[in-house]
């Protein structure tokens, strides 16, 4: 075929490098060199990972910040791999689904730091080497990111439009091709949003996971988290200020280099086929699209994927089984039930052997205390942020300017700010039972704010005009127009904020400032103290109680609220 | 069967005694298709015509291998169809384009799946794009295209695999009238010049004019369950002008076939037309505004109470599939009669046309209670209960004994809308209950 027959649009572009390539070149090889440098650190002996080796000099911070960021990236990649496999399995196999989805629901409710006991396990994988500690930290961050991503992907797989599904089948797409051509692109917008939410939560836990003690095992990985821990021990407010600045920078860079491009490309995958009025712009995406280096890389990946189309990488789906094998079903569910029963029995036996019933009641009481804190804080945050959010949301230019700020604040690991507050509590000798509480919501209140902003901006100008036309004002305006309009958004924000607060309670109810040790009575403090003491039974009990409260709160409060919001306050 | 003489005799596709039913959660089956026979020979375009719910799209999916029949068999070139078959391609109503692939990527999709190698794949894709008039759009994304251009991509994607059978599922119904007309004539022109790499075409449509214009044979389906009730050969030369008297006569005939059948079948089974409506007869939701609108149009000049269905459909810019449910709802409520392709207001209908709002509501309520047994049933239950309140689930459960959950939901929705208009009961969607309390 001659080149003239080719339309201009598919002709290969020129091969000479352009200026975008230069930028791309620097970025790629800088990253590679850095990765190689860090990888060497993994083989260092564990003994080098002590708090004493953390330098409080601001000049050491860029290095620490980079290592923290790298942990995040690795955890995110792990979460993606988990998402693609776990959610796909759950969506394609009825039997797997029956187990995997409830499991995911429970995993989601387990407080992230409850997973910290796994550190001991990871350390045992690479005896005496730093790699195990790194793995443990990455795993903790992974547990804060993976679940909601997997849920989102599963949900997308289950809601692929019938016509696209039929197209894929009518044109004989194999499973591998179907996955990359249909399922992943379709799930992309929702997945990217969830990745962002995961990232926000992840920063919090990467900082918490870098300096952690489980019983006699103490891990201090070089990073912003351990820098802060050292600064707390040294009561150095200046160093804490530097750490906050470094973190701010890291999050901004992440946003620019990873999320902006992702969001901008998510528009590509959106199903609404109309062009969006204001497409998200991203200089980094432009760079990647215009640079030969990146396009080559992307082509290479696409080629690899396409290679899979030709080979049979995954088995073809069998024709839908008409008569479901009832015996196999019975066997499968029977096995699951047996295993579950055994698990409950063993856990119960273990707990009863170590903890008296009275103590258990005490822990339940502590759970009640923390629950009270969470609810009061959510209510307080709502009273403050709902009016402010509505005010901002109704002013489009203000909203455009402030929404990213609120999102940034949500992403910022609030635990970096804890020392500032704690030092004040110590200085003024305030009651930790009350004054430590706000720390729980310090980082998560912003979810309420930016969701309310989004809700208020989505209020149609027509409805607002109706309001002014009929002179609906004051409290009536709030009751009839503003609150109903933002309600579904508010509920989403409140759910996220509440979930985050439970997680934060483990870090927030116990705080140190130099030699001062502050404790607020609550379930979070109970878990934190059990972890520090290496008392597995108490830790397990604390986690079980917290999961149980979170799950029941979800079922009894948030889900009904959300369902109501969905039903009542949406037009269609 | 009167096949046109130039058509090749060997059948590409044979559908024998095919039935399809869906199992409800409680184990009962809902029959969608019953005992369908169909043969498709090389070189013909066959149209499947029927109302929504006649199972014609389901039949198309059985033929495409996207679903399996519960009875009977589909054979393609003599071999039974058990899954999607190479050699059968489909054009979808909503286009079914992947928004993340360019025009070229979408067209190449089927070839990629068939593992056609790169130069060959691109050559064929560009050929199809050329043929269908998409030259210059190769690198565009679907979102950048108009509806007509999108459906052209749908056609190119189907043509590029050189299918023996092209299945079209209402391919023009998502387009505006003008665009649909252009695409149809373009397609017929290519078909007439034998330039398309296709054996034959099976077209599902509810547009009677379109079917008459395009097809060599029409199969007309009944609803609930879907069955082929008649076959009409179209032996008119192409191109067929919409206003040609022979075309018009055929359109009229199809209208008569499509409107006459349900009553005749009901009468067959149950003695007479009136008793055909039972508590568990599925209702189709038709807005009372549409009902009133059609009554007013019918009573006004030039119809004076009686109109030819195709003529009034055209005058009101409605397609058969939009108009027929309205006409049949009027018939169900005994406000009008349908006979031989005509619709005729009866006395109640005439009175309705003359009445003012409140009177209309009273009249509507009377007709509803008299002729829709489900309405009378709901009202009776509410009257008998001391609280005058009944949950929606009570009636849903009752209906689900004889129809699918979806149909039951739809039937109740229709009833609620009519009942509200006639003010024979009130319904609270938040609490999902029927009551007799209207807010005063």
Please report the pLDDT score of residue B152 as a whole number: 93
Mean pLDDT, consecutive 10-residue stretches, chain B (440 aa), reads: 48 89 68 88 90 83 89 88 87 88 90 85 91 89 88 92 91 87 90 86 89 91 82 86 84 81 43 58 86 90 83 82 86 86 87 89 90 90 88 87 80 91 88 77
B174 contacts chain A (CB < 8 A): no
Closest residue in A to B106 (Cα) is: A181
Please report the pLDDT score of residue A493 as a whole number: 87
Together in a domain, B309 and B422: yes
User: How many Å apart are CA B403 and CA B410, to the nearest integer?
Assistant: 11
B104 contacts chain A (CB < 8 A): yes
- Judged by CB atoms closer than 8 Å, whether chains meet at A181 and B430 is answered as no
Both tokens of A62, joined, read: 């860029």
Of B57, B81, B99, B171, which to mutate for an interface test with A (greatest number of A Cβ within 10 Å)?
A: B99
Residues 6+ apart with CB under 8 A from A75: A138, A139, A141, A142, A145, A202, A206
Together in a domain, B250 and B292: no
From A33's Cα to the closest Cα of chain B, the distance in A is 34
User: How many Å apart are CA B23 and CA A320, to the nearest integer?
Assistant: 15
From A338's Cα to the closest Cα of chain B, the distance in A is 27
Please report the pLDDT score of residue A1 as a whole number: 35
What are the φ/ψ torsions at residue B337 (nearest 5 degrees)? -120, 145
B136 contacts chain A (CB < 8 A): yes
Specify if B331 maps to a domain.
Answer: yes
Q: Which fold has domain A328-572?
A: MetI-like fold (1.10.3720)
From B376's Cα to the closest Cα of chain A, the distance in A is 29
From B4's Cα to the closest Cα of chain A, the distance in A is 30
pTM above 0.90, yes or no: no
Domain-wise residue ranges, chain A: 17-312, 328-572
Specify if B38 maps to a domain.
Answer: yes
A17-312 — its CATH code? 1.10.3720.10
User: How many Å apart are CA A184 and CA A194, to the nearest integer?
Assistant: 14
Please report the pLDDT score of residue A375 as a whole number: 93
Give me the total of CB pairs closer than 8 Å, taking one residue from chain A and one from chain B.
97
Residues 6+ apart with CB under 8 A from B193: none
What are the φ/ψ torsions at residue A20 (nearest 5 degrees)? -60, -30
- Judged by CB atoms closer than 8 Å, whether chains meet at A9 and B83 is answered as no
Together in a domain, B328 and B384: yes
Partners of A322 on chain B (C-beta within 8 Å) are: 68
Specify if B265 maps to a domain.
Answer: no
User: How many Å apart are CA B105 and CA B102, to the nearest integer?
Assistant: 5
Of A172, A268, A317, which to mutate for an interface test with B (greatest number of B Cβ within 10 Å)?
A: A172
Give the three-state DSSP class for B437.
Answer: coil
Give the three-state DSSP class for B334.
Answer: coil
Both tokens of B22, joined, read: 């869906």
Our separate counts of H helices and E strands in chain A read 27, 4
Specify if B159 maps to a domain.
Answer: yes
- Residue B277: CB atoms within 10 A of its CB come to 18
Please report the pLDDT score of residue A293 as a whole number: 64
Together in a domain, B301 and B189: no
Listed by number, the residues of chain B in 50-79 with a beta carbon closer than 8 Å to a beta carbon of chain A are 61, 64-66, 68
Q: Which long-range contacts (CB under 8 A, 24 or more apart) does B390-399 make?
A: B390/B433, B390/B434, B390/B435, B391/B432, B391/B433, B391/B434, B392/B427, B392/B432, B392/B433, B392/B434, B393/B432, B395/B434, B398/B279, B398/B280, B399/B280, B399/B374
CATH code where residue B370 lies: 1.10.10
- Judged by CB atoms closer than 8 Å, whether chains meet at B113 and A172 is answered as yes
Together in a domain, B293 and B185: no
User: How many Å apart are CA A235 and CA B427, to the nearest integer?
Assistant: 66
Per-residue pLDDT 10s for chain A (572 aa) are: 333 343 343 434 444 555 666 666 666 666 666 666 666 666 666 666 666 677 788 888 888 888 888 888 899 999 999 999 999 999 888 888 888 888 888 887 888 777 777 777 787 777 777 778 888 888 988 988 898 899 889 988 988 888 899 999 988 888 888 998 899 988 988 888 888 888 888 888 888 888 877 777 777 888 888 888 888 888 888 888 999 899 888 888 888 888 778 877 777 776 654 444 455 666 766 766 666 666 666 777 777 666 666 555 555 555 444 445 778 888 888 888 888 888 888 888 888 888 888 888 999 999 999 999 999 999 999 999 999 999 998 888 888 888 778 878 888 888 888 888 888 888 888 888 888 888 888 888 888 998 898 888 888 777 888 878 878 888 888 888 888 888 888 988 888 888 888 888 888 888 888 888 888 999 999 998 888 888 888 888 898 899 889 888 888 888 888 888 777 766 55
User: How many Å apart are CA B337 and CA B307, to the nearest integer?
Assistant: 11
- Judged by CB atoms closer than 8 Å, whether chains meet at B84 and A322 is answered as no
Specify if B440 maps to a domain.
Answer: no
- Using the structure block, give the residue that is written with the tokens 């009034």: B312
Task: Please state the domain count of chain B.
Answer: 2
Together in a domain, B299 and B370: yes
User: How many Å apart are CA A556 and CA A558, to the nearest integer?
Assistant: 6
Closest residue in B to A270 (Cα) is: B99
Domain boundary among B216, B233, B256: B256
Q: Closest CB to A170: pick one of B89, B93, B99.
A: B89
Distances in Å between the Cα of B416 and the Cα atoms of A429, B32, B363, B412 are: 66, 25, 17, 6
Partners of A164 on chain B (C-beta within 8 Å) are: 96, 98
Together in a domain, B194 and B237: yes
- A480-537: pLDDT as tens digits: 888 888 888 898 888 888 888 888 888 888 888 888 888 899 999 999 888 888 888 8
Specify if B282 maps to a domain.
Answer: no
Distances in Å between the Cα of B396 and the Cα atoms of B32, B383, B402, B418 are: 20, 18, 10, 17
Domain that holds residue B336: 288-435
Partners of A170 on chain B (C-beta within 8 Å) are: 64-66, 84, 88-90
Give residue ranges of A with CB < 8 Å to any B CB. Answer: 1, 5-7, 9-10, 163-164, 166-167, 169-174, 177, 181-182, 185, 188, 268-275, 306, 309-310, 319-320, 322, 567-568
- Judged by CB atoms closer than 8 Å, whether chains meet at A167 and B98 is answered as yes
């Amino acid at each position: 075929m001659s080149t003239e027959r080719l339309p201009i649009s598919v002709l290969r572009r020129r091969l000479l490098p352009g200026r975008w390539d230069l930028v791309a070149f620097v970025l790629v090889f800088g990253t590679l060199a850095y990765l190689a440098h860090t990888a060497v650190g993994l083989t260092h002996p564990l003994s080098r990972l002590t708090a004493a080796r953390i330098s409080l000099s601001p000049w050491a911070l860029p290095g620490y910040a980079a290592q923290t960021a790298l942990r995040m990236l690795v955890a995110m990649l792990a979460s993606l791999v988990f998402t693609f496999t776990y959610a796909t399995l759950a969506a394609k196999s009825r039997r797997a689904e029956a187990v995997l989805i409830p499991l995911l629901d429970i995993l989601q409710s387990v407080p992230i730091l409850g997973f910290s006991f796994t550190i001991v396990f990871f350390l045992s994988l690479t005896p005496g080497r730093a790699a195990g500690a790194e793995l443990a930290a990455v795993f903790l961050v992974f547990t804060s990111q993976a679940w909601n991503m997997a849920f989102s992907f599963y949900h997308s797989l289950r809601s692929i439009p019938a016509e696209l599904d039929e197209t894929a089948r009518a044109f004989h797409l194999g499973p591998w091709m179907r996955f990359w051509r249909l399922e992943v692109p379709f799930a992309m917008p929702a997945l990217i949003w969830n990745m962002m939410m995961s990232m926000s939560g992840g920063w919090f836990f990467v900082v918490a996971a870098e300096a952690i003690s489980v019983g006699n095992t103490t891990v201090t990985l070089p990073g912003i988290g351990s820098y802060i821990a050292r600064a707390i021990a040294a009561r150095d407010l200046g160093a804490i200020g530097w750490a906050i600045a470094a973190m701010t920078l890291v999050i901004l860079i992440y946003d620019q280099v990873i999320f902006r491009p992702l969001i901008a490309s998510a528009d590509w995958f959106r199903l609404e086929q109309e062009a969006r009025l204001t497409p998200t712009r991203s200089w980094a995406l432009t760079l990647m699209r215009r640079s030969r280096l990146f396009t080559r890389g992307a082509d290479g990946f696409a080629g690899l994927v396409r290679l899979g189309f030709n080979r049979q990488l995954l088995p073809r789906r069998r024709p839908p089984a008409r008569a479901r094998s009832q015996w196999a079903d019975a066997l499968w569910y029977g096995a699951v039930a047996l295993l579950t029963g055994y698990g409950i029995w063993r856990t119960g036996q273990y707990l009863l052997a170590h903890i008296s019933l009275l103590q258990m009641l005490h822990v339940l009481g502590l759970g009640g205390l923390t629950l009270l804190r969470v609810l009061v804080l959510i209510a307080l945050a709502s009273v403050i942020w709902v009016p402010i959010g509505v005010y901002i949301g109704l002013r489009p230019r203000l909203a455009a300017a402030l929404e990213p700020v609120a999102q940034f604040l949500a992403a910022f690991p609030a635990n970096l700010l804890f020392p500032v507050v704690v030092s004040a509590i110590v200085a003024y000798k305030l009651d930790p039972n009350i004054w430590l509480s706000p720390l729980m919501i310090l980082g998560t209140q912003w979810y309420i704010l930016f969701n309310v902003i989004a809700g208020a901006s989505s209020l149609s100008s027509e409805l607002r005009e109706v309001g002014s036309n009929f002179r609906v004002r004051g409290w009536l305006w709030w009751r009839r127009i503003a609150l109903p309009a933002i309600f579904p958004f508010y509920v989403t924000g409140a759910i996220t904020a509440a979930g985050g607060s439970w997680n934060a309670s483990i870090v927030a109810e116990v705080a140190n400032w130099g030699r001062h040790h502050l404790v607020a009575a609550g379930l979070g403090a109970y878990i934190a103290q059990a972890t520090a003491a290496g008392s597995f039974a108490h830790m397990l009990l604390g986690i079980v109680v917290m999961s149980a409260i979170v799950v029941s709160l979800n079922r009894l409060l948030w889900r009904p609220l959300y369902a109501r919001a969905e039903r009542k306050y949406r037009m269609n | 069967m009167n096949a046109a003489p130039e058509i090749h005799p060997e059948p590409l596709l044979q559908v024998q005694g095919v039935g399809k039913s869906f199992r409800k959660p409680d184990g009962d089956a809902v029959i969608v298709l019953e005992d369908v026979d169909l043969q498709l020979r090389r070189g013909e375009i066959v149209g499947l015509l029927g109302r929504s719910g006649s199972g014609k799209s389901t039949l198309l999916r059985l033929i495409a291998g996207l679903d399996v029949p519960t009875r009977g068999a589909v054979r393609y070139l003599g071999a039974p169809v058990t899954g999607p078959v190479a050699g059968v391609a489909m054009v979808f109503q909503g286009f079914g384009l992947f928004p993340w692939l360019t025009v070229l990527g979408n067209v190449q999709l089927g070839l990629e799946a068939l593992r056609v190698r790169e130069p060959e794949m691109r050559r064929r894709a560009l050929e199809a794009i050329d043929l269908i008039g998409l030259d210059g759009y190769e690198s565009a994304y679907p979102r950048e295209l108009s509806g007509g251009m999108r459906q052209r991509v749908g056609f190119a994607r189907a043509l590029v695999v050189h299918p023996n059978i092209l299945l079209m599922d209402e391919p023009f119904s998502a387009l505006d009238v003008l665009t649909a007309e252009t695409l149809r004539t373009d397609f017929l022109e290519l078909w007439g010049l034998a330039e398309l790499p296709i054996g034959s075409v099976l077209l599902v449509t509810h547009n009677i004019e379109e079917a008459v214009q395009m097809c060599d044979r029409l199969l007309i389906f009944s609803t609930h369950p879907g069955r082929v009730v008649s076959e009409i050969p179209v032996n008119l030369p192409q191109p067929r002008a919409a206003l040609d008297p022979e075309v018009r006569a055929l359109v009229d005939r199809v209208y008569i076939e499509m409107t006459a059948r349900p009553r005749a079948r009901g009468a067959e089974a149950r003695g007479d037309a009136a008793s055909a409506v039972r508590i568990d007869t599925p209702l189709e939701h038709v807005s009372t505004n549409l009902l009133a609108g059609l009554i007013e149009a019918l009573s006004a000049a030039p119809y004076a109470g009686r109109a030819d269905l195709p003529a009034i459909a055209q005058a009101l810019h409605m397609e058969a599939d939009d108009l027929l449910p309205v006409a049949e709802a009027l018939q169900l409520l005994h406000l009008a009669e349908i006979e031989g392709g005509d619709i005729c207001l009866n006395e109640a209908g005439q009175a309705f046309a003359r009445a003012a709002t409140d009177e209309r509501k009273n009249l509507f309520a009377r007709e509803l209670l008299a002729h829709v047994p489900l309405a009378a049933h709901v009202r009776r239950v509410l009257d008998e209960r001391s609280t005058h309140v009944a949950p929606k689930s009570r009636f849903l459960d009752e209906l689900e004994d004889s129809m699918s959950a979806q149909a039951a939901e739809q039937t109740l929705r229709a009833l609620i809308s009519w009942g509200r208009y006639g003010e024979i009961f009130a319904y609270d969607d938040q609490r999902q209950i029927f009551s007799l309390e209207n807010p005063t």
